[in-house]
A and B are shown apart, each in its own frame.
Chain A
Amino acid sequence: MITLDACQKYFHKGSVNEVFALNNINLQIKEGDFITVIGSNGAGKSTLLNCIAGCFFPDTGKITVNKKDVTRWPEYKRARYISRVFQDPLLGTCPSATIEQNLALANRRGLRRGLGRGVKAKDGELFRSRLAHLGLGLEERLLDKVGLLSGGQRQALTMLMATMIRPEVLLLDEHIAALDPKTAGKILTLTRDIVKEQGLTSMMITHNMKHAISFGNRLIMLHQGRIIYDVRGEEKNTLTVEDLVRRFYESQGEELAMDSMLLS
């Protein structure tokens, strides 16, 4: 279980560019939760995920993983428990290394790296079977450089790498937003399968309200660095896109005049 306890974060504090990015965030992520995260641009969705991942430390508040206080742990240390897939497919893999080398790097996530061989012969079988799962034929291309792959292939590989070693939480930061609709659909299905298969705890940022409703067991909406809506279970399943859009605009104190445009 991961908890955020009264986390606050200012960026550029004391300057004209001051941003109150996280405003008193309290969140319990329970084992097996699949949380979808929505909110307008600048609401603090990515900031929230980055805060959990340890890209920065909160100004105040506490973060725990399985009751262990990790508030002051740097990102690389938290990687033992947390894995991530980014929006940019280029960020998750190493282009000049082969598929096999990338998987081998991921296969030691959070473990000590010593002078043993980077790519071990005995892992070949494991890599091949995992890759075969993707159905992209990558299992025949272990020695190809990742730079040769398409964005979709790289993002699929990143999904695989993020889950080679089971994370306590998988953070997906709009991980399909940079892909064409067909590829995005495939990666989304892959995400659902992997999360289900391994019973992963995960958080997924999305701008697609339909995905936000149909994926996962819990939904949170952020606005101006606060969690303004948090639903789960039955209540979430009965949500409609209209409900969400209404919430969304209510939070901003705006009229719903744009509804039809937004929904079309």
Chain B
Amino acid sequence: MTLYAALGAIEQGLVYGIMVIGVYLTFRILDFPDLTVDGSLPLGAAISAVAITAGYNPYLSLVFAAMGGFLAGVVTAVLNTKFKILHLLASILTMIALYSINIRIMSGPNIALLSADTVFDAVIALGVPPHYSGVLVFGMLAAATVVLIVWFLGTELGQAMLATGDNPQMVTSLGVNTHAIIILGVGLSNGLVAISGALVAQNQGAADVGMGIGTIVAGLASVIIGETVFGSSSIARAFVAALLGSILYRLAIALALGLEIGGFTFNPSDLNLVTAILVISALIAPNLKNRLIQR
């Protein structure tokens, strides 16, 4: 793998890392498998692209994207908590609804951002070489996200959120409205996913309605790889591991797709197969390790 390819993979790992942090929040903290993310990632991209084209500051467009994502998460969580729809089904419903909504927002299936302002302009203006600007911007944003989320989970409200995922009966009897907590948590998660989508769109120069397909799989893959490789003994460690897991996942994909065995090479369309194999390996690795140790 060339340095450029590695740099590209790290950049992808960081930008999607923000999404992975969101997925960690729902999947692990709230115990709420949330497929909304497949729709809220392109939602963030769509909102950001429309805002930038309309002349808004690209950083401000991230705020709009976050609000849109938050709202999408709230819809899923309300369907689940107030109307008792199974969390997976509720999130699938929101996800497919978002597909149509995203096309409405963009007035079409995609918007090009090739000559538009992006979050990188400010950094490049400071004299950072363009090919490092992505890693720099995404790295700072992802790190800030981890710090904020770890801080939040240490607050009274955040502790109640942790306990809600762990023991809902207990927190209810301690006076916590678990429905409100789940709505807030799933909202926050999708807000992060939408920011991630907005950044991806600005990075690749277009928002596309199809860009969210497989987000949840990539998110879960990163979470599981992160946990397997870096552990999750504390909240801070778990979130750093999720972010690093995202980078490892993108590196592994880049490595696999660049692999040449004799005359055989992978096509980009083999991505899903490679992802599935990666996740399966990460899932069975701890199990295999235990068995080998026992022998």
**Chain B residues whose CB sits within 8 angstroms of the CB of A95 once the complex forms:** 166-167
A110 touches B (CB below 8 Å): yes
Residue of A nearest to B152 (CB): A115
A233 touches B (CB below 8 Å): no
Instruction: Give chain A nearest CB distance to B248 CB in angstroms.
Output: 24
State the CA gap A4–B218 with chains docked (Å).
53
State the CA gap A109–B173 with chains docked (Å).
8
**Chain B residues whose CB sits within 8 angstroms of the CB of A90 once the complex forms:** 167
Number of interface residues of A (CB under 8 A): 34
Contact A94 B167 (CB under 8 A): yes
A108 touches B (CB below 8 Å): yes
B156 touches A (CB below 8 Å): yes
Counting residue pairs across A and B whose Cβ atoms lie within 8 Å, the total is 87
State the CA gap A110–B176 with chains docked (Å).
7
**Chain A residues whose CB sits within 8 angstroms of the CB of B86 once the complex forms:** none
Interface size, B (range): 20 to 34
Residue of B nearest to A147 (CB): B166
Residue of A nearest to B162 (CB): A97
**Chain B residues whose CB sits within 8 angstroms of the CB of A110 once the complex forms:** 174-175
Given contacts A76-B175, A94-B163, contact A113 B170 (CB under 8 A): no
A131 touches B (CB below 8 Å): no
A155 touches B (CB below 8 Å): no
Q: Which of A113-141 contact B (CB under 8 A)?
A: 113-119
**Chain B residues whose CB sits within 8 angstroms of the CB of A161 once the complex forms:** 174
Contact A118 B166 (CB under 8 A): no
**Chain A residues whose CB sits within 8 angstroms of the CB of B109 once the complex forms:** none
B178 touches A (CB below 8 Å): yes
Q: Which of B171-219 contact A (CB under 8 A)?
A: 171-178
Contact B169 A113 (CB under 8 A): no
**Chain B residues whose CB sits within 8 angstroms of the CB of A76 once the complex forms:** 172, 175-178
State the CA gap A97–B29 with chains docked (Å).
12
Instruction: Give chain A nearest CB distance to B273 CB in angstroms.
Output: 35
Contact B175 A77 (CB under 8 A): yes
State the CA gap A190–B100 with chains docked (Å).
60
Contact B159 A79 (CB under 8 A): no
Contact A53 B155 (CB under 8 A): no
Q: Which of B130-184 contact A (CB under 8 A)?
A: 152, 154-160, 162-163, 166-167, 169-178
Instruction: Give chain B nearest CB distance to A136 CB in angstroms.
Output: 20
Stretch of A5-13, A80-88, A178-186, A224-232 on the interface side: A80-88
Contact B175 A79 (CB under 8 A): yes
Which of B154, B163, B170 interacts with A91 by CB under 8 Å? Answer: B170
Contact B159 A105 (CB under 8 A): yes
Contact B173 A96 (CB under 8 A): no
Contact B170 A115 (CB under 8 A): no
**Chain A residues whose CB sits within 8 angstroms of the CB of B177 once the complex forms:** 74, 76-77
A37 touches B (CB below 8 Å): no
A39 touches B (CB below 8 Å): no
Q: Which residues of B contact A (CB under 8 A)?
A: 152, 154-160, 162-163, 166-167, 169-178
Q: Which residues of A contact B (CB under 8 A)?
A: 53, 74-77, 79-80, 83-84, 86, 90-97, 101, 104-106, 108-111, 113-119, 161
Q: Which 8 A-B pairs have the closest CB atoms?
A: A118-B159, A79-B175, A113-B156, A110-B175, A94-B163, A115-B155, A76-B177, A109-B174
